[in-house]
Structure 1
Amino acid sequence: MLKNIPFVDLKLQHQPLKAELENSIQEVLERGDFILGQAVEKLESSFPTVCGVKNGVGVGCGTDAIALGLQACGIGAGDEVILPANTFVATLIGVLQAGATPVLVDCNVETALIDLEAAQKAVTSKTKVILPVHLYGQMVSPSELKDFAEANNLIIFEDAAQAHLAEREGYCAGSIGTAAAFSFYPSKNLGSFGDGGMVVTRDSEIAKKIRTLRNYGAPRKYVHEIPGTNSRLDSIQAAILNVKLPYLKDWNSDRNQAAQKYDILLSPMKEKGIIPIKNLSGTGHIYHLYVIRVTDKSPINRDTLKEKLGMAGISTGIHYPIPCHLQPAYQNLGYKQGDFPNSESLSQEILSLPIYPVITEEQIHQVAETISQIIM
């Protein structure tokens, strides 16, 4: 008998950790250090360490991690930041909140990652930052990023919101450039029970400035040296993340193995237009999302496939259906339909299939077989 398959199953993933999670929350309650407490300090030490850098600063969400991180790097009004058009809008919002000018560029249609050749054409005398998005759990090539940044004298600021412990070319996400932003949204590979984020950086002075910015611009209580905001990672969320962090590597491995099974099962469907987003990172891809393209060779389009999978009890997602440059709120940036053809075509093709650490081989087979039945 076929069973419904959720897009993600956090309840099942958390079940074995129930006692640990409850104890960690109870410890915070007993200490009463709800804001910037002991649990936050622990996470700010342990998470950057596993990323391969020295400093971490917990903030309210991944968007704030981008905005405050860029500000701490000295980026603001008049500075241009290059980023991909096919990312979640939070990347764009973070740049705008920092006061900088976002410059969007297209992506590689096979990997969905930023096209650095397109980025090169977008560099001007005002460009200060290249902001790669490690999309779906796969890193942009560190060597290519470093060469690009060095050739153009740019800061590398990574959006690693979907790439917790992703690896490529011997680098871990967050360790390539000056700083990186992470999100701990519940569905992330390392997720809290609410919003949360962190900036990791090898630069102690940048970390110090972010700590000030996140706390009303005050390096110490009631002394506000710079304009700041209130964006602090809650102690309870940090406590939850501290419990989950030791399991992250194995969870990522489980996701990668699930993706490999999908690859094998979907391979015969390539002639029918079903093509997974290309993995150039091997086991370093941590598959926050497993995304396929439903190309024009398919007998049905992406939306029809999504609808039919839903009717069969299989939940899917689209990440993301509207590129940043076509979002209604950001038409003032001056972009138009046709500016980024790869991003636009992908937005009509991509479909995210169920993937999570506890997904079973039976469930993966059910998803693949259902797709096969629909398109054949």
Structure 2
Amino acid sequence: MEVKFFTPTREYAEKKDEFDKAIQSVLNSGNFIMGRQVTDFEDAIKEYTGAKYAVSVASGTDALVITSDILGFKNGREVITSPFTFLASTSCIAKGCAKPVFVDIDEDTFNIDAEKIEEKINANTVGILPIHLFSQMSNMDKIMDLASRNHLRVLEDAAEAFGMKWKGKNSALYRHSGTIGDMGIFSFFPTKTLGGYGDGGMIVTNDARLAEMAKMFRVHGASKKYHYDYLGYNSRLDTIQAAVLSVKLKYIDEAIEKRAKVSDWYKERLNDCDYIKIPDIKGEQKPVYYVFNILAQNRDELAAYLKQNNIGTSIYYPIPLHLQKCFDYLGHKKGDFPVAEKVSKEILALPIYPEITEDEVDFVCTAIKNFYKK
């Protein structure tokens, strides 16, 4: 048996007629940039997430760069974030010549350790950039409290967090990821819970002024054609991608439920394996299993064994950002963020997507147990 880490072809086969019709409608219209489907998709995102405003852009990375610029993450100011994430979560800070200030992670969740943020706040701090990783959101109660008391901006990197919701201690309602801070972003990269057939991203906010700026920034900073209020960017969601994503959004709750079921299969089958640890969900929230990670003893050898048995895996992330060459100028060294460094040597992502079968999960789990019996 072969179990791919991810495959989009099963979903396409299931809903081929809908996808083909959606794509053909764009081709027939000839409106490939900022077509009607883009506006319709933005409206659907607002309705699903509860955000007052949604502004689509070309990628999750662009969404981070644009929002960082708008929120003033630049010109030597400091922004607190995690070293255990994808490059874009921090490069968006550095590109504006702001300084990324790292805080170590919680080993049980892989998210920023909110209890360690306050000690990094100083007069030069302008914001906090929490990343909601893999299956759950960061501790937004603590983060928003710190931001409020210290007059800081909060940019939620919810690139991996579509569908996740946070209730917290002082709320009667769950709030969707990305809608709690000043601004939030989503990525629609194909592997994401809501993924397109190419790149795509979204900015969400409840602030009318920030939303208006985002709309201008995505079209070179123009308030209207050839009238430039800002030095902006060229970052627009393709109409074809909006059409594809609109089809997938109709089924997103079903997809999230299937991911939860797959995660339960893994937990049931791996619960008695002493050589691995499954992350905990913390806080009053609704998780979404975009990725199913384990912490594994002899991780690299296990990954190689699974590959030999035709099982796809991935490592998010093998090198924390503070040890990446591009951030040498920050002056960090090994040992500065020990939890992130430890997790990076043990973490392994297993195949998870709505179309994976129980037999395939059985195959993966049996292979893992067989490895440790050797």
Q: What TM-score bracket applies, with the shorter chain setting the length? A: over 0.9
Identity of aligned residues (%): 37
Deviation of the 1:37 alpha carbon: 1.3
**Separation in structure 1 between the aligned mates of residue 334 and residue 76 of structure 2, nearest angstrom:** 26
Q: Which residue of 2 aligns with 1:285?
A: 287
* RMSD, matched Cα: 1.4
Q: Which residue of 2 aligns with 1:75?
A: 73
1:111 is the counterpart of 2:112: no
Q: Which residue of 1 aligns with 2:123?
A: 125
Q: Which residue of 1 aligns with 2:6?
A: 8
Conservation of the 8 A alpha-carbon contact between 1:59 and 1:199: yes
Conservation of the 8 A alpha-carbon contact between 2:73 and 2:93: no
Residue by residue over 1:277-324, the C-alpha shift from the partner in whole angstroms, topping out at 9 and shown as x without a partner, is: 222368821111000001xxx4xx100000001111111000010111
- SS of the residue aligned with 1:39? helix
**Separation in structure 2 between the aligned mates of residue 38 and residue 141 of structure 1, nearest angstrom:** 37
**Separation in structure 2 between the aligned mates of residue 337 and residue 74 of structure 1, nearest angstrom:** 30
TM-score (norm 1): 0.94
**Aligned partner of 2:333: which letter?**
K
1:171 is the counterpart of 2:171: no
Of residues 98-107 and 120-129 in structure 1, the stretch that sits farther from structure 2 once superposed is: 98-107
Equivalent residue runs for 1:1-376 within 5 Å: 3-169=1-167, 170-269=174-273, 271=274, 273-280=275-282, 284-294=286-296, 298=297, 301-376=298-373
**Separation in structure 2 between the aligned mates of residue 187 and residue 285 of structure 1, nearest angstrom:** 17
Of residues 303-312 and 124-133 in structure 1, the stretch that sits farther from structure 2 once superposed is: 124-133
Structure 1 residues 94 and 53: CA distance shift in structure 2, 3 A? same
Residue by residue over 1:229-274, the C-alpha shift from the partner in whole angstroms, topping out at 9 and shown as x without a partner, is: 11111111111111110111110111111111211111101x3x20
Structure 1 residues 309 and 274: CA distance shift in structure 2, 3 A? same
**Separation in structure 2 between the aligned mates of residue 360 and residue 279 of structure 1, nearest angstrom:** 24
Q: Which runs of 5+ in 2 are unaligned?
A: 168-173
Conservation of the 8 A alpha-carbon contact between 2:72 and 2:126: no
**Separation in structure 1 between the aligned mates of residue 285 and residue 15 of structure 2, nearest angstrom:** 25
- SS of the residue aligned with 1:199? strand
**Separation in structure 1 between the aligned mates of residue 240 and residue 41 of structure 2, nearest angstrom:** 11
Deviation of the 1:148 alpha carbon: 2.4
**Separation in structure 1 between the aligned mates of residue 11 and residue 224 of structure 2, nearest angstrom:** 39
Structure 1 residues 281 and 265: CA distance shift in structure 2, 3 A? farther
Conservation of the 8 A alpha-carbon contact between 2:114 and 2:139: no
Residue by residue over 1:49-97, the C-alpha shift from the partner in whole angstroms, topping out at 9 and shown as x without a partner, is: 2111110111111111111112222432132111100000110111223
Conservation of the 8 A alpha-carbon contact between 1:212 and 1:219: yes
Q: Which residue of 1 aligns with 2:171?
A: none
**Aligned partner of 1:278: which letter?**
D
**Separation in structure 2 between the aligned mates of residue 128 and residue 46 of structure 1, nearest angstrom:** 32
Q: Which runs of 5+ in 1 are unaligned?
A: none
Deviation of the 1:328 alpha carbon: 1.3
**Separation in structure 2 between the aligned mates of residue 119 and residue 142 of structure 1, nearest angstrom:** 12
**Separation in structure 1 between the aligned mates of residue 194 and residue 204 of structure 2, nearest angstrom:** 15
**Separation in structure 1 between the aligned mates of residue 215 and residue 140 of structure 2, nearest angstrom:** 27
Conservation of the 8 A alpha-carbon contact between 2:26 and 2:243: yes
**Separation in structure 2 between the aligned mates of residue 208 and residue 76 of structure 1, nearest angstrom:** 20
Deviation of the 1:141 alpha carbon: 2.4
**Aligned partner of 2:314: which letter?**
G
- SS of the residue aligned with 1:135? coil
- SS of the residue aligned with 1:330? helix
Residue by residue over 1:316-350, the C-alpha shift from the partner in whole angstroms, topping out at 9 and shown as x without a partner, is: 00001011111112211221111110000110000
TM-score (norm 2): 0.95
Structure 1 residues 147 and 330: CA distance shift in structure 2, 3 A? same
Runs of 4+ with deviation above 3 angstroms: none
For this pair of structures, how many residues does the alignment match? Answer: 367
Deviation of the 1:112 alpha carbon: 0.5
**Separation in structure 1 between the aligned mates of residue 283 and residue 30 of structure 2, nearest angstrom:** 43
- SS of the residue aligned with 2:117? helix
- SS of the residue aligned with 2:126? strand
Conservation of the 8 A alpha-carbon contact between 1:167 and 1:281: no
Higher-helix-fraction structure: 1
Deviation of the 1:33 alpha carbon: 1.5
**Separation in structure 2 between the aligned mates of residue 175 and residue 262 of structure 1, nearest angstrom:** 30
**Separation in structure 1 between the aligned mates of residue 21 and residue 102 of structure 2, nearest angstrom:** 45
Residue by residue over 1:10-37, the C-alpha shift from the partner in whole angstroms, topping out at 9 and shown as x without a partner, is: 1112211111111111111121211111
Conservation of the 8 A alpha-carbon contact between 1:178 and 1:203: yes
**Separation in structure 2 between the aligned mates of residue 259 and residue 281 of structure 1, nearest angstrom:** 19
Conservation of the 8 A alpha-carbon contact between 1:168 and 1:284: yes
**Aligned partner of 1:274: which letter?**
I
Of residues 69-78 and 12-21 in structure 1, the stretch that sits farther from structure 2 once superposed is: 69-78
